[in-house]
Amino acid sequence: MAASRPKILIHYMYNDPWVAPREMFWGLNKEGLDCELFVNKFNPWPKSHDQKNKAEKMMMARDKVLEKGFDYLFNVKDDVILPKNALQALLDAGKHSIGGLMREKLKAYNRNDYVAFVLDPKGPQDSDDRPAEHKKDFDFGEIIQVSKMAIGCWLVDRATLAKVEFKLDDYERYFYDCGAKNIKMFVHTGVRCGHVDIDGTIIKA
């Protein structure tokens, strides 16, 4: 008997206006996968509280996965351009929590470091809470363990979501709370995503 396919909730975090080219998301290869798309336009807070809007969306997606029996949440933000094989590549990695590789928005944040923080090992070293660097920390295609990553291309399984909740005042604390519970997190540096800056420029990973 063939193994059953995992049930995946694709959570598309929609912020108005839609800045990423639609075809770059809808072209995502989902062949052979059991996926349900959840386009989330829930923005109860004003734009000045955009982080809370993101937290509200993440809490809704988490509840939907846990209540409706999904095996995975695949989280996608509307300013991220995915490689067509992104979802399959993350699934094939076999990790509980794994994201794609992307850079910060240069014009929005005045930096374009990779949104993947190297895991801080114990003892004296130089990697405390710093973004991973190509060649120094990884070669493209490697899977690296991290302490924090972007949620714009992120696959996380049901068991991991059940262990940690999102917080309205700081949704990114989720990754630190995972670290406190010894939940391992990874970035697949072969899943190289584009990040659409505020002027429409695509920042390539």
Give the residue with greater pLDDT, 28 vs 141: 141
Query: In angstroms, rounded to a whole number, what is the distance separating the alpha carbons of residues 35 and 128?
Result: 37
CA distance 131 to 119: 10
Task: Evaluate if residue 154 carries a pLDDT over 90.
Answer: yes
- Indicate whether 188 pLDDT > 60: yes
pLDDT in tens, 10-57: 999 887 554 544 545 556 788 889 999 998 988 888 877 778 888 899
Find how far residue 125's CA is from the centre of its chain.
27
Plot region of 79 (φ>0 → left; ψ -120 to 50 → alpha; else → beta)? alpha
User: Can you list the domains of the chain with their CATH numbers?
Assistant: 7-204 (3.90.550.40)
Q: Average the pLDDT over each of 83-97, 118-132, 168-182 and give the range with the smallest value.
A: 118-132
Non-local CB neighbours of 146 within 8 Å, separated by 6+ positions:
116, 117, 118, 119, 132, 185, 186, 187
SS (H, E, C) 136-154: CCECCCCEEEEEEECCCEE
